[in-house]
Structure 1
Amino acid sequence: MKKLNVTEIQEKPEGFVASVKEELNVELARTLKAGNRMLVDSDGLAFIYIIEDELDYYYVSFGKGTWPSLKKLLANQGSLDLELGNSLNIELTAIADELAFLTENIEGNSNYGEEMEKAVSDIFL
């Protein structure tokens, strides 16, 4: 399992675009597709979007620094593309729905940890 860390999200006329610091092999990048699901990394204060290929899963990590952009994405019900390099992008489908579900579920839910609950409340609620 490989982790890709989102460093920035830019708002563009056609939607939002996320950049990662890791570089991917072009052949691998062409095989990746959206997983349509998200997880929570409470210890790392991050939301994780899953992308996948035929053999493996890849975590796309949205740390707390990217959350204000994610909040704006939610408010606009926008789309989000992930730049994989070499002019290859993948749309992270269902991210707004997944993120809305998670942020609502985290509110008042101590199962995610006090720090995660407070961080989500501070930015999303």
Structure 2
Amino acid sequence: MQKRIEIKQSSWNEQQLLLEASPVSFPLDGVIASNQMLVDSDNLAFIYKLETASEFLYVSIKDDYWADINQAIQEKKAVVLVTKDVALLLTNMEEEIDYLIENIRDNANYGEEMEKRVNEIF
């Protein structure tokens, strides 16, 4: 079973965008950023992959937070995942988002709604 971390809200400080996660029922000991992202077009979300020594964890960033992600990229601000136990820099975010957006635009394989939302926000 995939372990997912859902973003529940976002906020800003001077240097970074904070993506605040809903509580999780699994430990986040030793979790690191993978520098990789995926697309979940069924749920209109970008997925940032995290790693532990034994598994992957998936941070679901739904379209509600894409405008903030876009602003962070435009302003060259860091994006940080915040949970009760961890604050983790999501590295390589700009490159991964740029790559995904380029692939989603004018590509019906991702679904009409996903393509529409990407074009509206990015």
Return the TM-score normalized by structure 1.
0.90
The answer on whether the counterparts of 2:23 and 2:84 sit within 8 Å (CA) in structure 1 is: no
Q: Percent identity?
A: 32
| Closer/same/farther in 2, CA of residues 24 and 93 from structure 1, 3 Å limit | farther
Aligned amino acid, residue 7 of structure 2: V
Output one character per residue of 1:44-73: Cα deviation in whole Å (capped at 9) or x when no partner: 100000001011111100011111101101
Counterpart residue number, 2:80: 81
- The 1-side partners of 2:92 and 2:25 are apart by 23
What residue ranges of structure 2 are gaps of 5+ in the alignment?
Answer: none
Q: CA deviation at 1:24?
A: 5.5
Counterpart residue number, 2:65: 66
How many residue pairs get aligned? The number is 121
- The 2-side partners of 1:97 and 1:9 are apart by 21
In the alignment, structure 1 residue 96 sits paired with structure 2 residue 94:
yes
Moved over 6 A (4+): none
Superposition RMSD in Å: 1.3
